[in-house]
Copies of this chain bind each other. A is one copy, B any other.
Amino acid sequence: MAQDKKVEAITARDVDFAQWFTDVCKKAELVDYSSIKGMFIYRPYGYAIWENIQRLMDAEFKKTGAENVYMPMLIPESLLQKEKDHVEGFAPECAWVTMGGSEKLEERYCIRPTSETLFCDHFHDIIHSWRDLPKMYNQWCSVLRWEKTSRPFLRHREFLWQEGHTMHATAEEAREETQRMLEIYAKFCEDVLAMPVIRGRKTDKEKFNGAEETYTIECMMHDKKALQSGTSHYFGDGFAKAFDIHFTDKNNQQAYPHQTSWGASTRLIGGIIMTHGDDDGLVLPPRIAPVQVVVVPVAQQKEGVVEAATGLYNTLLEAGVRAKIDTSDRSLGWKCAEYEMRGVPVRVEIGPRDMAEGNCCLVRSDTGEKTVIKSVELTETVRRLLDDIHANMYAMAKKNLDENTFDLNTWEEVKEMIDTKGGFAKTKWCGALECELAMKEKAGVSSRCMPFAQSGTTGKCPVCGKECTTDIYWGVAY
């Protein structure tokens, strides 16, 4: 598509990955900058991806019994301060409302950076008996964090997410919930977004403010950096005590419930772009693509072409495929480049010659491969092709992850790997915070997670050299 201005205007992915990313976000019309520093506009195409994520993820949440609610967006400062670790983590990046109309408020309110405190305040009011448990709530909303820097999808002062907040009668149940929800995120990334993940636990340094344990899924982007793509937190009864949430158990004893929270955000869209995109722009996983198939007539001024294309389009719609047809007066070249930029998984082309032979031509976005098929086999072929594309995209991303994950022994090896080629380092770790900090300072990496799949072998901590068994991943993170 070298003739097309639109495509030429994108920076090559392997020349300047950051600029390529920004170009794709802008030119595929996913987001736009707003007049407010650090805040973005989610444009129709970007928002449509989020709607698909919401729809599919929400169905999974509801299968577990979670119910959706909506809490106020403002948190009184006194409420935010009830749990010490939590407020220390979030207060520095809160936006504060100090005026209501023309009146100065007696107490200032922050716009939610996350809603644990609001949920706990409500749980205090509604949890009294073992009959009231578990409470498994989820909320789709936006949150605000007053960060200094911003990048589309990866760091917004306001971003869209969901936050689940649950309360359980026992620690065991709460831990199960924490794992269950992480697994939902993991499966969603793999099965829907074609993004392989590493499931694991965060170190104490990297865990959520106020949590006892944080579980995470970590993905590797095309540039070999890490993207934390979903987290699930176990809180124990810390917040319950701070907010005086208690219940009468089946033995008529007073007890504190055990709590979790879990979240995923529009960062996932950043992950999709950086995992699958190429020099032609976005490449969307078929199961999340707002448009799965675009039908483009060739030589559409010729008699019957638009009708034939419309016939194929209707066939796809009837089969439940998310299809689009473009019969605008734009050139064929413009259209091809446009839908490649937008990462539509399959393009169907049909022109006079195809029609005469009862054929149409399918072009897949992941490999660029073209296949001529019988038009009567369109639906069946497209269905198979969408699954193939998903599988291929997953395989390519998995290959990237596997080929760029290295079993290493010392911080020097990690540093060399990061400096020369990039990737994830898998090492042992003694568990000491000093060694974790040293890895950051000396090798330039942060801990990503201690994988659930531990090898059970013994080895040496890459910093202090102590014998230890814990496997851990390190990388440079977004």
Q: Taking beta carbons and an 8 Å cutoff, which residues of A are in contact with B?
A: 32, 34-36, 39-44, 47-48, 50-51, 67-76, 79, 92-102, 108-109, 111, 118, 121-122, 125-126, 137, 141-142, 144, 146, 158, 160
B111 touches A97 (CB 8 A): yes
**Cα(A95)–Cα(B102), bound, Å:** 9
Min distance, Cβ A440 to any Cβ of chain B, angstroms: 23
A72 touches B158 (CB 8 A): yes
Interface centre among A48, A97, A137, A141 (most CB of B within 10 A): A97
B48 touches A121 (CB 8 A): no
B122 touches A72 (CB 8 A): no
Which 7 A-B pairs give the minimum distances between C-beta atoms? A44-B67, A96-B99, A39-B72, A42-B70, A100-B146, A101-B146, A98-B98
**Cα(A282)–Cα(B458), bound, Å:** 64
> Given contacts A35-B121, A69-B41, are A95 and B97 in contact (CB under 8 A)?
yes
Determine the chain B residues whose CB is within 8 A of the CB of A93 once the complex forms. Answer: 101
Chain B residue with Cβ nearest A100: B146
Can you give 7 A-B contacts (C-beta < 8 A)? A34-B118, A35-B79, A36-B109, A44-B69, A47-B67, A97-B97, A141-B142
**Cα(A141)–Cα(B50), bound, Å:** 14
A72 touches B41 (CB 8 A): yes
Chain B residue with Cβ nearest A43: B69
Determine the chain B residues whose CB is within 8 A of the CB of A75 once the complex forms. Answer: 36
> Given contacts A72-B158, A74-B36, are A92 and B102 in contact (CB under 8 A)?
yes
Determine the chain B residues whose CB is within 8 A of the CB of A43 once the complex forms. Answer: 69
> Given contacts A93-B101, A98-B98, are A36 and B122 in contact (CB under 8 A)?
no
Q: Which of B39, B122, B142 contacts A41 (CB 8 A)?
A: B122
Determine the chain B residues whose CB is within 8 A of the CB of A94 once the complex forms. Answer: 101
A39 touches B74 (CB 8 A): yes
Min distance, Cβ A116 to any Cβ of chain B, angstroms: 14
**Cα(A384)–Cα(B99), bound, Å:** 54
Determine the chain B residues whose CB is within 8 A of the CB of A109 once the complex forms. Answer: 36, 95
Chain B residue with Cβ nearest A34: B72
Determine the chain B residues whose CB is within 8 A of the CB of A39 once the complex forms. Answer: 72, 74
B95 touches A96 (CB 8 A): no
> Given contacts A95-B100, A98-B96, A100-B146, are A32 and B122 in contact (CB under 8 A)?
yes
Min distance, Cβ A56 to any Cβ of chain B, angstroms: 15
Min distance, Cβ A257 to any Cβ of chain B, angstroms: 17
Determine the chain B residues whose CB is within 8 A of the CB of A158 once the complex forms. Answer: 72-74
Q: Which of B34, B70, B98, B142 contacts A160 (CB 8 A)?
A: B70
Chain B residue with Cβ nearest A329: B131
**Cα(A73)–Cα(B101), bound, Å:** 17
B95 touches A99 (CB 8 A): yes
Contacts A44-B137, A94-B101, A97-B111 supplied; 20 other A-B pairs, CB < 8 Å? A32-B122, A32-B125, A34-B118, A34-B121, A34-B122, A35-B76, A35-B118, A36-B72, A36-B74, A36-B76, A41-B69, A42-B70, A48-B68, A70-B142, A92-B102, A96-B97, A96-B100, A97-B98, A99-B108, A141-B142
Min distance, Cβ A63 to any Cβ of chain B, angstroms: 13
Determine the chain B residues whose CB is within 8 A of the CB of A99 once the complex forms. Answer: 95-96, 98, 108
B95 touches A68 (CB 8 A): no
**Cα(A50)–Cα(B139), bound, Å:** 13
Determine the chain B residues whose CB is within 8 A of the CB of A160 once the complex forms. Answer: 70
A70 touches B47 (CB 8 A): yes
Determine the chain B residues whose CB is within 8 A of the CB of A100 once the complex forms. Answer: 95-96, 146
Determine the chain B residues whose CB is within 8 A of the CB of A111 once the complex forms. Answer: 73, 97, 111
Chain B residue with Cβ nearest A143: B73
Q: Which of B34, B97, B146 contacts A71 (CB 8 A)?
A: B34
**Cα(A94)–Cα(B158), bound, Å:** 19
> Given contacts A97-B111, A99-B96, A102-B92, are A72 and B40 in contact (CB under 8 A)?
yes
